Amino acid sequence: MSTKTKPKLVIAISSTALFDMAESHNVYEQKGVAAYAEYQRQHEDDILSPGEAFPLARKLLRINDKLEGDPRVEIILLSRNSADTGLRVFNSIAHHELSITRAAFSGGSSPYRYVSAFECDLFLSTNAEDVRSALDNGVAGATLLSSRAGPSKDDDLRFAFDGDAVLFSDASERIYKERGLKAFTENEKASARTPMDAGPFKSFLQALQGLQAEFSPEECPIRTALVTARSAPSHERVVRTLRDWNVRIDESLFLGGLSKGDFLNSFGADVFFDDQQAHCKSASEFVATGHVPHGIANE
């Protein structure tokens, strides 16, 4: 009898998020495609420095060392390079001993269309247009911002999420933006027992929970947090929605409009996802931050 393969957590990361490619990108911007291609060939044995997503990628791949059997976490490299100009990227992957074997080099066009083909749960990139395209096609995605925060020193992985327009739909946030806080609060009280619709990151959170289930609570290397501007009484709908989804969040912070940065730092987040640019900018001073270009705040 064959054993059913357990589902993987599959994350696509662009080459510009995995490595610092600012220097070669400047060549492309200033001198064009041909000069860029020649530059990459000349420097293909020069190892690229880690980019914004590198610490997260390394931690994710280390989870496979903690589980028996087939790898449960896979990272897919997506790049606008051609295979020829992308050789430097694979050389850097080998140097840093990252277990990344699958890639799509799209030769100048957007690689987002391969996100679904690889059955990815999440797409991380520095290209906001590619991320929007992934979100439009039903895949969780975020644009990684430059961060002042260094990588955390332990192997535990900590994911933090905003609520509305990230884990949940932006329907409630639309009421707040269009009609104000009072109307928002009244709506959430009246709808407290009506679960919210899913946002773009619900499926990724569920995939994370599936991976968490492989460990005992005491030994699980993954921890999640909801970090939201909501406060009482609008918290109740959040709790009941997660209960309806049968999804567990390890920690929930209802901040009532307080700045999120200090709290994310206290949580020790490896990455935080939020739909609002202002929140992302302040958070990026403390943790790696992914902007989710979804919902009314991004229209």
The Cα–Cα gap between 78 and 14 comes to 5
Beta bridge partners of 228: 254
Query: What contacts 13, CB < 8 A, 6 or more positions away?
Result: 53, 57, 75, 76, 77, 78, 123, 124, 125
Region of residue 215 (left: phi > 0; alpha: psi -120 to 50; beta: else): beta
Own/partner pairs, 183-189, CB within 8 angstroms, 24+ separation: 184/234, 185/233, 185/234, 188/230, 188/233, 188/234, 188/236, 188/237, 189/233, 189/234, 189/236
d(CA 240, CA 199) in angstroms, rounded, equals 15
Residue 5 CB neighbour total at 10 angstroms: 8
- Rounded CA-CA distance 54/275 in Å is 22
Residue 162: active-site member: yes
Of 121, 130, 162, 275, catalytic? 162
- What is d(CA 12, CA 52) in angstroms, rounded to the nearest whole number? 14
Alpha-carbon dihedral 199, 67, 150, 14, rounded to 10 degrees: -60
Do 126 and 144 form a contact (C-beta atoms < 8 A)? Answer: yes
Cβ neighbours for 34, distance < 8 A, ≥ 6 positions apart: none
Who's near 148: CB < 8 A, 6+ residues apart?
284, 285, 286
Which residue numbers are catalytic?
A: 162
